[in-house]
Amino acid sequence: MSALAIDVGTSSVRTSIVDASGVVSHSHQQRLSVRTPNPGEVELDALEIVDLALVLARRTLASHGPCDVVGITNQRATTIVFDPTTGQPVGPAIGWQDLRTVIDCLVLQGEGLRLAPNQSATKARWLVAQSGREAKDLRFATIETWIAWHLTEGVAHVTDRSNAAVNGLVTLGVDEWDERVITRLDLDVSMMPSIVDTMCNVGPASALPGSPMITSLVGDQPASLFGQSCVTRGAKITFGTGAMLDMVRGTSGPTTLARFASGCFPIVAYSRDNVVTWGIEGIVLSAGACIEWLRDDLGLIAEADETEALASSVRSSGGVSFVPALSGLGTPQWDFGARGGFFGVTRGSTKAHLVRAVLEGIAQRGADLVDAAASETGTRLQEIRVDGGMSANRFLVQRLADFTGLRVAVSPEREATTRGAGLMALVSAGYLTFDDVEGLWSPAEVFTPTIPEDERATLRAAWSTTLGRAAKTIPELSTVEF
């Protein structure tokens, strides 16, 4: 049995076949056009997204042959508003990172309605207002909604719970739309998709050869969690441009969909047969972005792959530390006014020391996520699983093990989101069970701590002091909360 996984990320579309043993094959990938017309604005072309998804999906099926089911995973909160009659978007797809509605969010917060600019809610209002159309004549979509609508040729207008839970427009149970919020934003309930389980029969993908059934829709980070076999328990960190820790919590729902005091926030890990499995998420805003900065802006390295050897070429960072806060600090501090910086630089500091400090700073922030998750759940993990492009860096992964004191298991599939979407689709169709998925875990490599506990405690305490030096660099931004 096999699933076609359609994975729409922040900067590319990838399609693959995922079989019942969890093997990912017949992958095709192409980059998306991402525009930043003004500082803080991030736009994509909604038609390009669906065109690429269809082209690549057909290419994967042509090379593999028919599939049994389809799973879709996506960058959450990227927002599209479209005309259901013509199928045309009324404006650009507004990326999840887009900050054009920051002022709107602050105004609404003053009125007692707390929304964040990275949620879909205020993006949808902006798109409707710019269109000059009546909200009731339009339709709202996040990426999984948009892809499913086109795959079913306009039949299915749906969103799944893992995406709906983070868009700012749903009730606490993530089973219906919050009409109070929708009305306040000048939207209309009629434009909203039906909310369905992450694992259910959405409808046949009639736009594809053989019309396979779409049986899973899921946000990218929950997909990565499932793709690393964290089904009833466990946690993972995805190291990409940023870093995101997701942890399975259970079927007992939260009392709020807002951020917790720990700096984490609730997510829907998955749902099936109207039973929701919840999780928590914590975020590092800058991870791989720091390596891109070293390469593209500072010119200290020519390729990202160089960092592992450079960092390993010196016994220590020579007293240099680096706080990866190029866009502020996420979990647990949520200090948007914090800024990145090197500390302890001397005339004897070399390129290798600086690169090592950057990787160690990213690993320390990963340990901050683990500590926040432990604080929130009262559960101390024994193992953390990792995926994403930076999980290939053995120095980074080893330091993560050292700073957390945990085993760190590297995913055999770097892009575990694709694997998770395919496995969910197979479970939904009854080809696999949850136990089967948990049994599929076979890490590519496992790292264990190489330093004693007292040294780890000393390093973590020093890191806390260093973080304090980067905090509130821009005080007026540090007071902003979403």
Q: Given this model, what pLDDT does residue 10 score?
A: 87
User: Tens digit of pLDDT for each residue in 155-201?
Assistant: 999 999 999 999 999 999 999 999 999 999 999 999 999 999 999 99
Interatomic CA distance for residues 70 and 424, integer angstroms? 9
Domain boundaries, the chain: 2-220, 229-410+451-482
Interatomic CA distance for residues 209 and 213, integer angstroms? 11
List of residues 6+ apart from 471 with CB closer than 8 A: 329, 333, 335, 337, 338, 478
- Mean pLDDT (the chain, rounded): 97
Same fold: 2-220 with 229-410+451-482? yes
As its CATH architecture, domain 2-220 has: 2-Layer Sandwich (3.30)
User: Tens digit of pLDDT for each residue in 338-363?
Assistant: 999 999 999 999 999 999 999 999 99
Interatomic CA distance for residues 84 and 458, integer angstroms? 59
Name the 3-class secondary structure at 283: strand
Region of 419 (left: φ > 0; alpha: ψ -120 to 50; beta: rest) is: alpha
> How far is it between the farthest Cα atoms of the chain?
66
Q: Are 34 and 43 in contact (CB under 8 A)?
A: yes
Rounded to 5 degrees, φ, ψ at 199 are -120, 105
User: Tens digit of pLDDT for each residue in 40-92?
Assistant: 899 999 999 999 999 999 999 999 999 999 999 999 999 999 999 999 999 99
Interatomic CA distance for residues 266 and 359, integer angstroms? 28
Instruction: For residue 42, give the amino acid letter.
Output: V
Q: Are 96 and 186 in contact (CB under 8 A)?
A: no
Superfamily classification of domain 229-410+451-482? ATPase, nucleotide binding domain (3.30.420.40)
pLDDT, average across residues 217-237: 98
Look at the chain and count its residues. Answer: 482
pLDDT of 417 strictly over 90? yes
User: Tens digit of pLDDT for each residue in 435-476?
Assistant: 999 999 999 999 999 999 999 999 999 999 999 999 999 999
End-to-end CA distance of the chain: 44
HSE toward the beta carbon, residue 230, CA cutoff 13 A: 32
Task: Please tell me the pTM assigned to this model.
Answer: 0.96
